[in-house]
Amino acid sequence: MGAAKIEQIPEDSMIEVAFAGRSNAGKSSALNVLTNQKSLARTSKQPGRTQLLNYFTLAEGKYLVDLPGYGYAKVPLAVKKNWQKTLEMYLTDRETLKGIVLLVDSRHPMKEFDAMMIDFAYHQNTPLHILLTKTDKLSNNQKNNAKFAVEKVLKDYGSDLLSVQLFSSLTKTGLPELKVQLDQWFDVELEIDQEPEE
């Protein structure tokens, strides 16, 4: 389901994990490969496709939440301000939010929004796991440099609630590591790749 306002989000939520990131950072692609679905979350080359808080049910009371991309596309200023207000209210007040997956384009890491999200998570005491996305477009040396740069930023916070990994939706690099992190937050096994019982 999609929620345009805080009042529309599920009341039965027990645990939810939010996927956040700048527009076109690869949130929808990551959600699709994570859940082994081709079009669970809509992907687009045009930034700002996600304009709602999109809820995906894993189990009763457990959700993945695809947040609107920061930066947004060519939309009216009033719409941008409304999205930002809703996003801030959600991140600040949502008691069932157990973790944030922050997707960062590995080719352009640590932009203003990325730094803001890390700082927010730290001060809210909310676990945050960074996915450095689109690593299939980088050489091994470039990947290592990108990860090292982010690790250096996180080290300054001195918090074990902040972590980072390399990720590619195309090659599925880092997918097992992401699933382990989500398992810990949900305190269950997601069973995404298990075959259905006969």
Look at residue 197 and tell me if it is in a domain: no
Q: What is the pLDDT of residue 78?
A: 67
Q: What is the pLDDT of residue 109?
A: 84
How many structural domains compose the chain?
Answer: 1
Q: What is the pLDDT of residue 43?
A: 47
Q: What is the DSSP string of the chain?
A: -EESSGGGS-SS-SEEEEEEEBTTSSHHHHHHHHTT-SSSS---SSTT---SEEEEEEETTEEEEEPPPBT--S--HHHHHHHHHHHHHHHHH-TTEEEEEEEEETTS-S-HHHHHHHHHHHHHT--EEEEEE-GGGS-HHHHHHHHHHHHHHHHHHT-TTEEEEE--TTT-TTHHHHHHHHHHHHTS---SSPPPP-
Look at residue 29 and tell me if it is in a domain: yes
Q: Specify the CATH number for the domain of residue 111.
A: 3.40.50.300
Average pLDDT of adjacent 10-residue blocks, the chain of 198 residues: 70 89 88 81 47 83 86 61 75 91 93 90 95 96 96 94 97 96 80 45
Look at residue 146 and tell me if it is in a domain: yes
Look at residue 193 and tell me if it is in a domain: no
Q: What is the pLDDT of residue 72?
A: 54
- What is the rounded distance in angstroms from the CA atom of residue 152 to the CA atom of residue 134? 20
Look at residue 24 and tell me if it is in a domain: yes
Q: What is the pLDDT of residue 89?
A: 82
Look at residue 15 and tell me if it is in a domain: yes
Domain limits for position 168: 2-186
Model confidence, pTM: 0.83
Look at residue 198 and tell me if it is in a domain: no
Q: What is the pLDDT of residue 113?
A: 85
- What is the rounded distance in angstroms from the CA atom of residue 82 to the CA atom of residue 187? 33
Look at residue 153 and tell me if it is in a domain: yes
Strand 97-105's sheet: what is its strand order?
2-3, 53-59, 62-66, 15-21, 97-105, 128-133, 162-166
